[in-house]
Structure 1
Amino acid sequence: MDFIDLKSQYAALRDNINARIQKVLDHGQYILGPEVKEMEAALVAYTGAKHCISVASGTEALLICLMALDMQPGDEVITSPFTFAATAEMIVLAGGVPVFVDIEADTANIDASLIEAAITPRTKAIMPVSLYGQVADMDAINAIAAQHGLAVIEDAAQSFGASYQGRKSCNVSTLGCTSFFPSKPLGCYGDGGAIFTSDDQLAQACREIRTHGQSQRYLHTRLGVGGRMDTLQCAVVLGKLDRFEWEIARRLELGDAYERKLKAAVPGLQLLAVRPDRDCVWAQYTVFVDDRDVLQAKLKAAGVPTAVHYPRPLHHQPAYARFARADDCPNSIAAAARVMSLPMSADLTDAQQDHVVASLAAAIG
């Protein structure tokens, strides 16, 4: 059993993906070829955002957004410490200071009720992370941001396809960033990502920044990066889009089944909470356990792969410890010690899921 089954996904989409890749090989436009604009247009239609700007990775998307907001040295960005390092990494690389706000204990998303107290005159933006595939409490976050004149950047690397109050992730804030890393809900076959916004000026800034700050060829109007998404990777995403709605529906179905089966087989197991006004596309199906190392070893012996997202909050990482006290964000510290992700992908079979549940029940005893 694979933790994420990309082989079965490719088998189902082989003809479509191969044809898409071959078309790029035939026309030879490997950088900003026609598939780039085609993919961007398709994702605009999917999310409802006015603009989609494809970029080299989800990490690059965050950096470009911060640059588009004209980050200055010492500007602060409020974010969660319970996320992959790229979130804080890009804030620091842009010259900013990450200000960590703790998570909700049951969803593992940033606690919107704690954000306002973290705002200072140096605050530039709020960067919530839609962790595990569930959008954070964006209405509350956007309201706080509007009151203080701040931008909101949704780090939606794990939540593309998710819905929040009838709106799609990546279209619920000033800017939305996602990743097309192969393991994501919508993945390519390498690195790739996208920025979404309905602000015309920010969209133009992001487009210029991704191509070395050029407003036209060899006219550099701003500082930029080499942040373009390869045409071949856009072709792969296009090859997957026909099946994407089914995959999201299947992820939601598997998530509901996991909840039902785990509640029956492992009474008392703490599951991730999903708020009633949104869904979760389960980039990782994550539970909270004690004695995690022991359980992982038992599950491995039973043929069930697991992973930990994430074993150490960012303010306990050597590179970011200077930005917060070690005892800050207690919910993040507690979650890091207990989270464990189970196999999840649209091609996970019911029989495989039953084996995961039975194996976890046996391991917990």
Structure 2
Amino acid sequence: MIKFLDLQKINAPYKAQFQQKLETVINNSQYILGTEVAEFESNFAKFCGTTFCLGTANGLDALSLILKAYIHLGRLQVGDEVLVPGVTFIATAQAVVNVGLEPVFVEPDALSYNVTAETLEPQINSNVKAIVVVHVYGQLADMPSLEALASKHNLLLIEDAAQAHGAVCPSNGKRAGSFGNAAAFSFYPTKNLGALGDAGAITTNDLALYECVRKMRNYGSSEKYRHEIYGVNSRLDEIQAAFLNVKLPFLDVANSARQSIAARYLNEVKNDNIKLPKIAHKNAHVFYVFAIRVANRPDFSAYLEANKIEYVIHYPTPIHKQIAFSKYKNLNLPITEAIHASVVSIPISPIMEYEQVSDVIKALNAY
């Protein structure tokens, strides 16, 4: 069996360092917002190329807190419309509705799966106040053109970078998380930079946002028992921050390994029954998943199972067809629906062996 993702094998090289870090945290007894969180926030801000980073409990909270803080700061108002991709994990839209904003689902480019300035601009009107752009499956969207679009229409531009840790813009060398007004990250265990539990972060150069979220994530408090604004409890766990501090220095190497496997898939899979993703530039895609498309997904899934190749579907049902978002069920989003109906993610991870990749390629070509 070729596993889709072997987390035990991925984390095995760090086990001794994890144990040392755990011992350090236990001995320091700084379990909430301690030195490991502060160190990770500094390290990750530097890695992304931003002034600030704030750890949160998870990626959904990171995005929700950005939007909630901009409401508090007067940049957004409850009821404002926010453009979001039709193709994304449901958390992107949940963050919008959870703070009282209205999502407007936008069709992606059919080949890259990302929204573009061309797909977004026709949806902009006086009610739209922000864009949340997702780097779907790990491929950085065309951020320079999206920054120009947001500037043209005076819109907030927020990155949902939960799938794109370390992705690099080929035109200016900037990393995911350093564009627009702010970015939200998830460090869910399956991510390219994965914790051993839930964890998230916000990166930004916006001092006012940073100061607001720093209070908001901690009960609205900047000092104990003094609460200046309404807040929540969404703090990056000290132990998870310690684990992330161990893994962050190796992220670029791990991403490079994913990119090498992706290059083999792109160059060696030759089958008209399989539609490969369009990649703008290898460094702009960190391949959180390698998503292909097939006309008959049930048949293809059964074929992979018969060949002992694990797979995952990211994602089987578009957000506007989910029960929770039933008010949007009549939206006309044919490209979004076609992608969700045909996409299949095949194995890709930094610990896959050359022969395993070869076996996947052989099976795909024989389908």
Q: Return the letter of the residue paired with 1:299.
A: L
Instruction: Specify the alignment match of 2:290 in structure 1.
Output: 285
Residue 229 of structure 2 aligns with an amino acid whose one-letter code is R
Deviations 1:134-166 (A, max 9, x none): 111211211111122211110010001111131
Instruction: Show the counterpart of 2:363.
Output: 359
CA drift at 1:89: 0.7
Q: Deviations over 1:93-128 (max 9, x none)?
A: 100100011010001111321222212222221001
Counterparts of 1:104-183 in structure 2, within 5 Å, are 104-165=109-170, 166-183=173-190
C-alpha displacement at 1:278, in angstroms? 5.2
Q: Which residue of 1 aligns with 2:68?
A: 67
**Residues 314-353 of structure 1 aligned to structure 2 (within 5 Å):** 314-323=319-328, 325-326=330-331, 328-353=332-357
Counterpart Cα distance in 2 of 1:87 and 1:329: 17
User: Which secondary structure does the structure 2 equivalent of 1:320 belong to?
Assistant: helix
Task: Write the letter of the residue equivalent to 1:337.
Answer: A
Q: Does 1:194 align with 2:198?
A: no
Q: Is the contact between residue 140 and residue 167 of structure 2 (CA under 8 Å) also seen in structure 1?
A: yes
Match of 1:34 in 2: 35
Cα deviation, residue 169, structure 1: 0.4
Q: Who is 2:55 aligned against?
A: 54
CA RMSD of aligned residues (A): 1.5
Distance in structure 2 (CA, Å) of the matches to 1:69 and 1:112: 23
Partner of 1:88: 93
Q: Contact 1:309–1:341 (CA<8 Å) still a contact in 2? A: yes
What stretches of structure 2 of length at least 5 have no aligned partner?
none
- SS state at 2:219 partner: coil
CA distance in 2, matches of 1:359, 1:54: 42
Task: Say if 1:101 and 1:111, in contact at 8 Å, map to a contact too.
Answer: no
> Any idea what SS the aligned residue of 1:244 has?
helix
- The counterpart of 1:204, out of the listed 204, 211, 220, is 211
Following the alignment from structure 1 to structure 2, what is the Cα–Cα distance between the partners of residues 204 and 6? 35
1:219 partnered with 2:226 = yes
CA deviations over 1:292-322 (Å, ceiling 9, x no partner)? 1111112112110011111121111222232
Partners of 1:103 and 1:329 within 8 A in 2 = no
May I ask how many residue pairs the two structures share in their alignment?
A: 360
Give me the whole-angstrom Cα distance separating, in 1, the residues matched to 2:129 and 2:214.
21
Alignment partners' CA distance in 1, 2:169 and 2:321: 31
* Contact 1:164-1:277 at 8 Å conserved across structures: no
Residues 175-233 of structure 1: per-residue CA shift (max 9 Å, x gap): 11110000000000000011000111111111111111113222222221111010000
Gaps of 5+ in 1: none
Aligned to 1:15: 16
Alpha carbons of structure 1 residues 108 and 151: separation in structure 2 relative to 1, 3 Å: same
Maintained 8 Å contact 2:53/2:201: yes
Please tell me whether the aligned partners of residues 29 and 231 of structure 1 are also in contact (alpha carbons under 8 angstroms): yes
Q: CA deviation at 1:324?
A: 6.2
The alignment partner of 1:204 has SS state of helix
Provide the secondary structure at the position in 2 that maps to 1:341.
strand
Q: Distance in 2 between matches of 1:189 and 1:120?
A: 42
One-letter amino acid matched to 2:333: C
